[in-house]
Structure 1
Amino acid sequence: MLHRLFILLIAIVGLAACSGGNNFSSGGATDVARSYTLADFSFAAPADLTVSESENYYPFADVVWRGDPRGARVPQIAAMFETAARRSATGLTGDVPVAVQVRLVRFHGVTDRTRYSVGGNYHIVFDMTVRDARTGTVLEPARRVTANLDAPGGSRAVALEQGGQTQKVRVVNFLTEVLLAELS
């Protein structure tokens, strides 16, 4: 009994650490004058990222994603980033064509167990480098971007899903917003 109570306490502390709504931040300089057009986008992920299919409340892994059928999770995440980049490109109509490189550090969604009970948030961390697409010159060296998207739980999660706001739809829309903000 004491062991179960300890596990429950750890899960609650982990979920509480993930709460906080939608937000993102980066370690980039805020004094950069940006006038970009997105000409190229690439996504990479280190081969040593750990992926979990566990249905614990808070699996200890680098990649947790349940918005697609079981399969290769990193390519599923890459596809979401690529879709978000294409969408954000329409909002970037500046003077300098850029090539953006994203390197995934962590993509921690919510397990079904968490989603259909207490909810939590998607914790997405990546490094982003911006280069001049014509010359390859680094305009903005790699900077860490941390983005958190609220993941409603229980009946609210079900209602969103039934209304067409699937996990994938919500995450791609959020990543589009993050990329636009980071490049504007």
Structure 2
Amino acid sequence: MTLFRATLMMAAAALLSACAGGDIVSRNALANSELLSSKDGEFQPSVPLNRSYRVVDVRVEVPETLTSSEDNGIKPRVDILWQEDPAGDRHAQVRELMTAALEEGVAATEGSRDVVLDVVMTRFHALTKRTRYSIGGEHEVWMYVAVRDAETGELLEPARRIGFDHRISAAQALENEAQGLNQRLEITALVKDLIRQELTRPRDFLQG
């Protein structure tokens, strides 16, 4: 077996393992987070969903149950892979990054109802240096998002899972780095686009 083929097989195995665990993490996040539950414990909206919003606050939770790693391997089998900041509390670092990115993404919302976004992360997997500059990989960012009335706390939209798996090739990574675009900026841009699209499309798609 060639080294190249062995590397591809290892990467594929790691990816399958990560995907298999993702559903479990997602189910646990939805069931256990106080941010995502309604006052009566039901995940059902109680008001029409064809409203426009102005987001006045974003609250991000990164559960301590999410695993993390400092391994500079191809694709560590963990929920959180973030090594661009200095060694420290990776959960807190992800919370800070995601809060800032989401706040930037909703800054231009000018709807008629003030709302709060409650966000619970289920996966935040960037790239190790080894992967970023050799074979490339995917930024995998997944979360549950619920929308609440800013004044009453009433659940307007039940928690739903959103996110992305966005591939960055090694060549693209090197080109981005040459322009001052590190992983933080790459992911921030993707998160901003994601939440902007999610909040500006008609809410009718959540009906029924």
After TM superposition, the score normalised by the length of structure 1 is 0.82
Q: From 118, 134, 140, give the equivalent of 1:101.
A: 118
Paired residue type of 1:174:
L
Is the Cα contact below 8 Å between 2:136 and 2:169 reproduced in 1? Answer: yes
Partner-residue secondary structure (3-state), 1:139: strand
Is the Cα contact below 8 Å between 2:106 and 2:195 reproduced in 1? Answer: no
> Is 1:123 matched with 2:131?
no
Structure 1 runs not aligned, ≥5 long? 19-30
Paired residue type of 1:9:
M
Q: Quick one: higher RCO (CA 8 Å, sep 6+), 1 or 2?
A: 1
Partner-residue secondary structure (3-state), 1:113: helix
Q: Which has the higher helix share?
A: 2
How far, CA to CA, are the matches of 2:148 and 2:141 in structure 1?
Answer: 22
- Does 108-117 or 66-75 show the bigger shift? 66-75
> Is 1:50 matched with 2:41?
no
How far, CA to CA, are the matches of 2:140 and 2:161 in structure 1?
Answer: 13
Paired residue type of 2:11:
A
Residue 23 (structure 1) aligns with: none
Partner-residue secondary structure (3-state), 1:78: helix
Residue 167 (structure 1) aligns with: 183
- What's the RMSD between the two structures over aligned residues? 2.7
Paired residue type of 2:137:
G
Cα–Cα, structure 1 residues 91 and 17, in superposed 2: closer, same or farther, change >3 Å?
farther
How far, CA to CA, are the matches of 2:6 and 2:188 in structure 1?
Answer: 35
How far, CA to CA, are the matches of 1:119 and 1:133 in structure 2?
Answer: 41
Paired residue type of 1:95:
S
Paired residue type of 1:67:
E
Structure 2 runs not aligned, ≥5 long? 19-47, 201-208
Percent identity, aligned pairs only? 32
